[in-house]
Amino acid sequence: MSVKCLIVDDEPHAIEVIERYLIDFPEVLIAGTCHNALRAEEIIKSGDIDFAFMDIKMPGLLGTEFIKGLSNPPKVIFTTAFQEYALDGFDLGAVDYLLKPIPYDRFVKAMNRVRGVLGLSSDLPANNEPVPGSPLNREQFLHLRVKRENLKVKTSDILWIESVKDYIKVVLKDRELVSKYKISLVEKLLPTLEFVRIHRSFIVSLRKIESFHPSYVKVMGKELPIGRNYKQDCYKRFLKA
């Protein structure tokens, strides 16, 4: 069984990411891509669209308002860089809500939800496990606003991330970047198989951990504390890494 999907986003790069991820889902046929709600409406009305990836913040009309105005909308996975739109998306019965930049393993979760909603029985990737040649093994990035610049940081270059009040400090081997994000949001944007939350104020790259102790881990010779509520999960992740 195959299903048709539509990708709507005003950023060409965002469409490319979803198209690349969908290579691992042969049952999904991309019926079209477009950059605005007006063109999306034409495609939806002209063909059988089973579900759509819909960016929320687009010029002219929000994706949520567009879906709300359709008499017979397809199933929707909303995508956006703005967490505050999540509630509106779920109020409309969205299958899922993905925060950009979208980690591959989180994308797989959303696709498994689509599989359940549409009754697909084909062998799509499941349980967050990477498939051979999947984007999980390709370079991933974290987009940060630092001062007045938008920086694209390779997740493989990150040693750890530290929460400092309303900001985070992203520590790389040769520099530190400070950006106004909540650590809980950044945690959702990172590849979950590569990073572990060890403390309410620290997220660490599993690859960069040199050693661990009941109360701390060492990264580049620096001791980072393990919070009491994180110990059990940390040990499981350390032993598997």
Give the pLDDT mean for 143-172: 89
**What residue spans of the chain are helical by DSSP H?**
12-21, 37-46, 63-69, 86-91, 104-118, 183-189, 231-240
Residue 139, pLDDT score? 59
Beta carbons of 113 and 51 less than 8 angstroms apart: no
Ranges of CATH 3.40.50.2300 domains, the chain? 3-123
Distances (CA, A) of 110 to 8, 66, 79, 103, 213: 16, 21, 11, 11, 36
Residue 201 vs residue 105, higher pLDDT? 201
Whether pLDDT at 176 is above 90: yes
Ranges of CATH 2.40.50.1020 domains, the chain? 142-240
pLDDT tens, 47-75? 789 999 999 888 788 888 888 888 888 89
Residue 240, pLDDT score? 67
Residue 90, pLDDT score? 52
Whether pLDDT at 37 is above 60: yes
Residue 18, pLDDT score? 92
Residue 126, pLDDT score? 44
In total, the chain counts a number of residues equal to 241
Give the pLDDT mean for 221-225: 95
For 232, the 3-state DSSP assignment is helix
For 39, the 3-state DSSP assignment is helix
pLDDT tens, 125-146? 444 444 434 444 445 778 778 8
How many Å apart are CA 182 and CA 199, to the nearest integer? 14
How many Å apart are CA 93 and CA 86, to the nearest integer? 11
Highest mean pLDDT among 87-91, 94-98, 148-152, 157-161: 157-161
Residue 148, pLDDT score? 77
Residue 241, pLDDT score? 61
| Assigned CATH for 142-240 | 2.40.50.1020
For 184, the 3-state DSSP assignment is helix
CA angle 213, 230, 129 (to 5 degrees): 100
pLDDT tens, 87-96? 555 556 788 8
Q: What percent of the chain has pLDDT over 90?
A: 36
64 Cβ contact partners less than 8 Å away, ≥ 6 residues apart:
56, 78, 85, 88, 89, 92
pLDDT tier at 106 (50, 70, 90 boundaries)?
Answer: confident
Residue 75 vs residue 237, higher pLDDT? 75
Give the pLDDT mean for 151-162: 92
155 Cβ contact partners less than 8 Å away, ≥ 6 residues apart:
140, 141, 142, 190, 191, 194, 195, 205
How many Å apart are CA 124 and CA 222, to the nearest integer? 41
Name the average pLDDT for the chain: 83
How many Å apart are CA 18 and CA 102, to the nearest integer? 9
How many Å apart are CA 141 and CA 122, to the nearest integer? 30
Residue 59, pLDDT score? 78
How many Å apart are CA 17 and CA 31, to the nearest integer? 16
How many Å apart are CA 27 and CA 116, to the nearest integer? 14
Q: Which CATH architecture has domain 3-123?
A: 3-Layer(aba) Sandwich (3.40)
Residue 88, pLDDT score? 54
